Structure 1
Amino acid sequence: MAKPNKKGPSRTVDIVCAQCKCKLYKYRKGGKGALVKCFKERISEDYTFAPGICPQCQQAFARPTLVRGVPAFKIIGTKALMK
């Protein structure tokens, strides 16, 4: 399978916690679909202290995984939102 584009899209979105609305990432997202996964190489700013854990409410919002051989975070349900 093809790997995701390294440079990635230029459009950035803010990813926030669904429970406490705390900022989690600034992410270069491609396409207009729902937020399912975040490739680590496309995260431009990371506001979390532990991977996949909200810094404010300590809720797990994502799991580290490999997607097409590239490290990524799979978002759990609707625990993280795009703005």
Structure 2
Amino acid sequence: MAKPNKKGPNKTIDIFCKNCNFLLFKYRKGGKGALVKCFKERISQDFTLISCTCPQCDKAFVRDCLVRGTPAFKFIGGKVWYK
């Protein structure tokens, strides 16, 4: 399968923790589908101190994985929301 486009889309979304509403990432998302994963190279700003964990409530919200040979985060269902 093809790797994701490195430049990616220009539109950014804010990803928040569902539990405490802390801003976790600013991410360049393409398309209008659900937020299932995010490629690490498309994260424009990362506000987490420890990877995969919310700094305010200390709960895990993603899992570290490889998607199509590219490092990515897979979101745990119901742990985040975005706008």
Give the equivalent residue in structure 1 for 2:4.
4
Aligned residues: 83
Q: For residues 38 and 52 of structure 2, what CA distance do their matches in structure 1 show?
A: 11
Cα displacement (A) at 1:57: 0.3
Aligned to 1:39: 39
TM-score by length of 2: 0.98
Listed as ranges, the gaps of 5+ residues in structure 2 are none
Gaps of 5+ in 1: none
The CA distance in 2 between the partners of 1:17 and 1:41, in whole Å, is 20
Match of 1:53 in 2: 53
Percent identical among aligned pairs is 66
Residue of structure 2 in register with 1:79 after alignment: 79
Q: Which amino acid aligns with 1:75?
A: F
| Aligned-partner residue type, residue 29 of structure 2 | K
Matched residue type, 2:17: C
Cα RMSD between the aligned structures?
0.5
Runs of 4+ in structure 1 over 6 Å off: none
Task: Report deviation, 1:59.
Answer: 0.6
Match of 1:66 in 2: 66
What TM-score do you get using the length of structure 1 for normalisation? 0.98
